Structure 1
Amino acid sequence: MDTTDRDHTRDVASPHATTGWITEAQSRHPERGTITVDGATIAFRRWLGPEEAPSGVLLVHGGGAHSGWWDHVAPLLTDRGPVVALDLSGHGDSDHRTHYSLDGWGDEVLAVLGAAGLGEDPVVVGHSLGGLVTLSLRERPGNGVGRVVVVDSPIEGPEAQRRPEAGTFSSRHRLYPTREAVMERFRPVPPQPTLSEVVEHLVPDSVRQVDGGWTWKFDAGIFDGTARMHITRPGPGRPWAFLRGERGMVPASVREQVERTGGLLVDLPGAGHAPMLDQPGMLIGALRAILANWP
């Protein structure tokens, strides 16, 4: 899970210096599009790649996040084809629903895959909740999703995936008097260092004005227990990889589970649960290496 109203101390320093590549990547504005899935409008962003590239990549954000969390990552993955990032329902600029489930979010991912022109054999990359959605799709027979990358998702067992808020998240958003006031409350969950270039870009697109003030775009109802973050253990199949943040949510023991099912596990040294916030260069490097070595 990725954002909350709780008053955690924000760690804004990173152990590594940044360069202008983040701002440059964020300046590559994507195309915007929407589709309708089961009565809800689902928004997505699309970065174009070379026409001769074999296939594209679909990026799925974590809980409480949105497609803009990939704005500095996606442009650097377009060498293999177009890259698309969607807003799952209840997030970003997509519609809210009265009920959320992995299956429902999976239907949205499949619909975007079909509409976004990502080629015959796209790779799906999912972070946290998005990784659980991605793995649930991999287990669906005949869904067309084979090659997947999961980023620091809790797959150790049902107890780790049920009610992820566990006293951390409220089922209702607080209201704030100004846009600046709510943006100041941005905190990653669990707490981790963040890069100012990244946070200052994504936070303005994370809030909305409502009656009585300002609040977050994501639906607090995604954490109310109606959506159980529970999947079966990943089974054998086509290539898949797991990127684990050294300081993230997933214990090192996940390696045995990943490798037992034919997956590749890559540790991201020093990275927190959301490596796009503190170690984006490392995340991009790992993704590019995996994609380049998959047939």
Structure 2
Amino acid sequence: MSLLVFGQTGQVAQGLRQMPGVQTLGRADADLRAPADCAGMIRARRPEAVINAAGWTAVDDAEDHEAAAHVVNADAPGAMATACACLGIPLVHLSTDYVFDGSGDRPFAPGDPTGPLNAYGRSKLAGEQAVRSANGVHVILRTSWVFSAHGANFVKTMLRLGATRETLPVVADQIGGPTPADALAAACLRISAGLRAAPGLSGTYHLSGVPDASWAGFAAEIFAQADLPCAVTPIPTTEFPTKAARPTNSRLCCDSLQDAFGIQRPDWRVHLAQVLSILKGV
């Protein structure tokens, strides 16, 4: 199956570009700041499926540049979805737990009410709405706390800080599922094939790693597996202020994804060991 992937240097795109039949597009090929060009690329290449693994991911910067984030995270996916719908091509679009308000302590299901707390979340929610409005075959796949051996992410930040400190304060009252990028990439491929065989599976789904953890718990596991003596000091969100508000509850219910596509939640601890092994070899 020929797959066209928007994104080239991001964590999920890095995983996808290693797989057969996948062509990734960087900013030089298709700039999401020019949505019409993205649609034109789909019409020119006419792949069997499209995956949008690109977007504006700088959460705090989006607070100061919401209009620009909206173009990248909403207008561009909408243009992709319209082009895909016109050509009868399935689209898999990655979204985020940040479309929810983070209230409560139960996992959010795909059909739960949304209520983003920040500009990034609003732009991603608008992107979801644009994809649905195109009325094509699609899956919107929400995820959370993505990590890998590539790019900037929490794991690499903790390794850098933990190597030079005896203790490190880490937020303990935000709970979510750390998600390995390679598992997301594999899920996107499986969903793409599933949509071609069964277009009726179109809809919104969730995928995050298991077990759910706090950022502090995630950090402690990183240090333990990396044999770093740095101790984690749990702190509340109020002691780590950020420009953009973060949801305290990022738990995602992933049952419908397993029912529809047979994709189970990955154990992030196993994937963390693999990521650390790769990083040690760099």
| TM value normalised by structure 1 | 0.31
| TM value normalised by structure 2 | 0.32
> Which has the larger helix fraction?
2
